[in-house]
Amino acid sequence: MIDTPQIVRSQPQHTAVIRFTIPREEMPKIMGAAIGELVDAITAQGAGPAGPMYTFHHRNPTDSFDFDVGFPVSQPIEPAGRVQPGQLPAATVARTIYRGPYEGLGDAWGEFMRWIAANGHRSADTLWERYVSGPESGADAAAWQTELNRPLAEG
C-alpha cells in the first residue's frame, strides 16, 4: 500500500495557504473552492504555484481537522482575502508515497504510523500530505500518488 518509508530532512518552503478548522466530513466540500482561490491569488502575484497542492495538519486529525490547504510558491506572497503566506517547515520527517485513491489514505496513514513506531521513532503532532498526482492526471486511481510526511519528535 505504501512505499518503503525513508527518514529525510525537509527544507523550508514558502507557501500560500487557507486555514480551516472543520468537521472531518466537510473536507471534500471545501477543497475545490479553496484550491481555486489559492491558484487565483498565487497567479495574480506571479508566484506560481511552484509545486503540488498539500494539506498541513496542525494536530493529529480526529473527528475534526485543523489544517491548511496550500501550494508552494516561488516567492513570499501578500495576504489576499483568505489566502495567507505560510511555510512548510524544515524538519526531520518520515516520508513515504501512497499509491491509490484518496479513500485509502486513512489505511495508508495507519500502515505508515505502524512503520514509524516499529522502527523506534516517535512522531510529532503535525503532518502533511502532498498530492503529487491525482484526478487531474487520469481516471486510474491506482496511479495517483500522495506523499505522506510525518515530522519526528526530537529526543
pLDDT in tens, 104-151: 999 999 999 999 999 999 999 999 999 999 888 888 899 999 999 999
Q: Exposed, middle or buried by CB within 10 Å (0-12, 13-18, 19+), for 105? A: middle
- The pTM for the full model equals 0.94
Which one is the CATH code of 6-133: 3.10.450.50, 3.30.300.30, 3.90.245.10, 3.20.80.10?
A: 3.20.80.10
Enumerate the domain spans of the chain. 6-133
**How many Å apart are CA 76 and CA 25, to the nearest integer?**
32
**How many Å apart are CA 55 and CA 147, to the nearest integer?**
11
Angle made by CA atoms 27, 134, 67, in degrees to the nearest 5: 30
The Cβ of residue 26 has, within 10 Å, a number of other Cβ atoms equal to 12
pLDDT in tens, 61-101: 889 999 999 999 999 999 999 999 999 999 999 999 999 99
